[in-house]
């Protein structure tokens, strides 16, 4: 059982709820059920949640299969911690009017780099 991944899946699951709350709350305030209604603040909240849900599931799957294939628990915890920090940075760094924020770069770059590392590691395990 991938117990280390289980921990990080739980942490990231709670984060997903927290990240989705601003978009849902804002939808109620501005009366927009579907889409963003042309509201830039709602669009930003939607994209923060959307980006999280686009990247995190793949990263968790990779973490889990790596753990099930013998990658050390410590390594999986490092992967999980990096992913959590990267996603927090991305959440706070994603701005509608500025693509160059350092936190956005750390968050997006960290998530992508982690995904590449885990993907290559999975391929190596599968082939050798």
CATH number, domain with residue 59: 1.20.120.550
Domain housing 55: 3-127
Cα gap 69→33, rounded to integer Å: 43
pTM of the full predicted structure? 0.95
Rounded CA-CA distance 68/2 in Å is 6
pLDDT digits (tens, 9 = 90+) for 13-68: 999 999 999 999 999 999 999 999 999 999 999 999 999 999 999 999 999 999 99
**Residue pointed to by tokens 């280390």:** 4
Please tell me the total count of domains within the chain: 1
Closest CA to 87 of 71, 72, 67, 104: 104
Q: Could you tell me the maximum CA-CA distance found in the chain, to the nearest angstrom?
A: 55
**Cα–Cα distance list, 105 to 20, 80, 83, 99, 112 (Å):** 21, 19, 14, 9, 10
């Amino acid at each position: 059982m991938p117990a280390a991944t289980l921990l990080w899946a739980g942490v990231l699951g709670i984060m997903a709820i927290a990240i989705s709350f601003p978009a849902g709350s804002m939808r109620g305030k501005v009366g927009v059920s579907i889409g963003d209604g042309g509201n830039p603040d709602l669009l930003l909240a939607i994209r923060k949640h959307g980006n999280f849900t686009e990247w995190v599931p793949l990263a968790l799957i990779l973490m889990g299969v790596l753990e099930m294939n013998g990658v050390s628990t410590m390594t999986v915890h490092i992967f999980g911690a990096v992913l959590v920090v990267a996603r927090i940075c991305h959440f706070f760094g994603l701005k509608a009017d500025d693509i160059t924020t350092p936190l956005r770069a750390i968050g997006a770059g960290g998530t992508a780099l982690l995904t590449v590392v885990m993907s290559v590691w999975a391929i190596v395990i599968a082939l050798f």
